[in-house]
Amino acid sequence: MGLYFKYSVALLYIPAIAIYKIIKRRCVPKWTKCPKGNVSKLPKLPRYFRYVKLILNSKIIIIIIIISSISNGIVLFQNQQYDNLYKDINNLSGKGIVVSNKVEKEYKNQYKVKIININGSQKYKNTYLSLRVDKKLTQEIEYGDEVTFSGDFIEPTTRRNFGGFEYKQYLKTEKIIGSINVDNFKVTQHNKANIVFSFSNDCFLKFENVIDNILEKEQAELLKGILLGDSSNIDEDIKEQFRISSISHVLAVSGMHVSYLVIGINLFFKNKAGKNKTKVIIILFLIFYMLITGFSPSVVRACTMEILVLIAGLIHRRNDTINSLSLSLILILIYNPFLIMNIGLQFSYVGTIGILFFHNNVFKILKDIKIKNKKWKYRISPKVIKITDRIKEILAVAISAQIAIMPIMIYHFNVFGIYFFLTNLIVSVIIGPTIILGIITIFSYMIIPKIAEIIAVSLSFLIKCLIFISNIGELPYSKIYIKTPSISQIFMYYIAIVILNFCYGIYNSNIISTTRKKNKKFNCII
């Protein structure tokens, strides 16, 4: 049951149902009644309860209970399967198909293998193992090879200290049941992987090879992270600098990257192919992009939402951002429910929700920051005003996302970057040209390498700027170390910011009503 309550909101069902019952049966309290001819100045509570009833009604509660019960049942079932596997497997021999490229470790090469059978049984078919092959073994393994292997099974370790890395949980997000130290193996057949995935992997390797040829090692690894989502070979010190500077999101492909890719494709094809055909081209490219980046959660979220927006435009329907966001999350969790614990997914979705909910109010606050001195106010040119408005817009997005992901960042890393507003402002200017130039350089290299080498000079400069910006994390007082918050503290934080955001929205609303007037007075008291 521990796993059930860890992933579920089941404990909130009891108070939710209790609140609903109280609201449903609530009538005008006796203390609000006054003698005839007098009007009570006290607020009638049912007037405010009706807003809560829109959220908490029996149908919504029943739907939440059914959906969460099914999803938690799936998680419990899959977790039980993992536990059974750990008990059943010790020494093993088996057959599988290699579905990853080689990852070089100090003494061994590592591969992800989709299992065909283990010890002659197909009980564990379509699960995954991580093969650790000694570098001394000379036979090469490539993506799509069918291999037979034998060795000792290693159950993933759990964290030994509070707040430590949960390796077993991480492997579940990759659908890997464990590792095996291979004693011997043999490649029996080649090119046995899915044709589509083999093609996308070939493209991925080709892109990586081009990047390695046009840039120095450090810059090449960063560009792979920015364009392809492959940050496995980036130096740990650089990763830490990006994390402290609150710009680590640029190393994981997300909505920002996808939006710039869409802008680039749209600019190139719009005049040549037309509006609707360009949308179809973008949809096909985004599907291809998800393939070559290995369907990472943040990429799937960003691409799915963008595809739904484009489809809505093609069929002349209005797109609902919340529905698109929810649908993409459902698709990801149907594939693997344990991805809910993936840090990249948490940052991607929570950051997007933060922008949706807080951006307008944050932008209003920033927009109200103006020069009040009349002597200087009218000397500022319209161009400067336009630039400052754009800066405020970028800051509003960065602050909104940061408000939402801050407790998750502290929970996982115990650190909060002070200069996030500055670093994100500068990065937002640089990252767009970096992504677009990176794509242009890769494709031009395949046609005319000399042109790619010329473009790579500008690309190299932009990546150096990103590295320089990440060094802001080394400035004095650039970070605050914070104790790991509990789940209840995180929950209370989100309740508090949602209430504050709601109250601020009412207080600054231009629509005046009796209810809003009373709420404004209440907000002033708060």
Question: Over the stretch 101-146, which tens digit does the pLDDT of each residue have?
Answer: 888 777 788 888 888 888 777 777 778 888 888 877 667 788 888 8
Q: What is the mean pLDDT of the chain?
A: 76
| pLDDT score, position 2 | 42
Alpha-carbon gap, residue 431 to 422, rounded angstroms: 14
pLDDT digits (tens, 9 = 90+) for 283-330: 888 888 888 887 777 788 788 888 888 888 888 777 777 777 877 887
In which residue are the tokens 């407790």 written? Answer: 407
CA distances for 338 relative to 332, 341, 387, angstroms: 10, 6, 43
Alpha-carbon gap, residue 8 to 69, rounded angstroms: 8
Q: In 3D, which of 474, 477, 494 has the Cα closest to residue 485?
A: 494
Listed in sequence order, the DSSP H helices in 179-254 are 195-214, 217-228, 236-244
Task: Provide, for the chain, the percentages of residues in helix, strand and coil under a 3-state DSSP scheme, each rounded to the nearest 5.
Answer: 65, 10, 25
Q: Are 265 and 278 in contact (CB under 8 A)?
A: yes
Strand 128-134 with 176-189, pairing? parallel
| pLDDT score, position 514 | 56
| pLDDT score, position 164 | 62
Q: How large is the C-alpha radius of gyration of the chain? A: 27
Poorest-pLDDT segment among 256-270, 398-412, 438-452, 478-492: 256-270
Tokens of 155: 């159950």
| pLDDT score, position 4 | 46
pLDDT, greater one: 46 or 275: 275
CATH of domain 90-193: 2.40.50.140
Alpha-carbon gap, residue 96 to 177, rounded angstroms: 14
The DSSP letter of residue 471 is G
| Domain ranges, ordered by start, for the chain | 2-33+43-84, 90-193, 205-485
Q: Does the pLDDT of residue 492 top 80, yes or no?
A: yes
Interhelix angle for 297-314 vs 321-335, to 10°? 130
Beta strands in 74-175 (DSSP E): 91-98, 103-104, 108-118, 128-134, 146-154
Q: In 3D, which of 175, 112, 174 has the Cα closest to residue 149?
A: 112
| pLDDT score, position 28 | 44
Q: Tell me the three state secondary structure of residue 183.
A: strand
Q: Does the pLDDT of residue 8 top 70, yes or no?
A: no
Phi, psi of 177 (to 5 degrees): -85, -20
| pLDDT score, position 35 | 47
| pLDDT score, position 485 | 86
Poorest-pLDDT segment among 13-22, 60-69, 167-176, 450-459: 13-22
The DSSP letter of residue 121 is B
Q: Are 459 and 438 in contact (CB under 8 A)?
A: yes
Q: What is the separation, in whole angstroms, between the first and last Cα of the chain?
A: 41
Cα 171 → chain centroid: 18
The strand pairing partners of 249, in sequence order, are none
Tokens of 460: 């190299």
Report which secondary-structure segment, H or E, holds 415: strand 415-417
State mean pLDDT over 193-207. Answer: 85
Q: Are 262 and 303 in contact (CB under 8 A)?
A: no
Q: Tell me the three state secondary structure of residue 146.
A: strand
| pLDDT score, position 373 | 60
Angle ∠(112,118,122) on CA atoms, nearest 5: 105
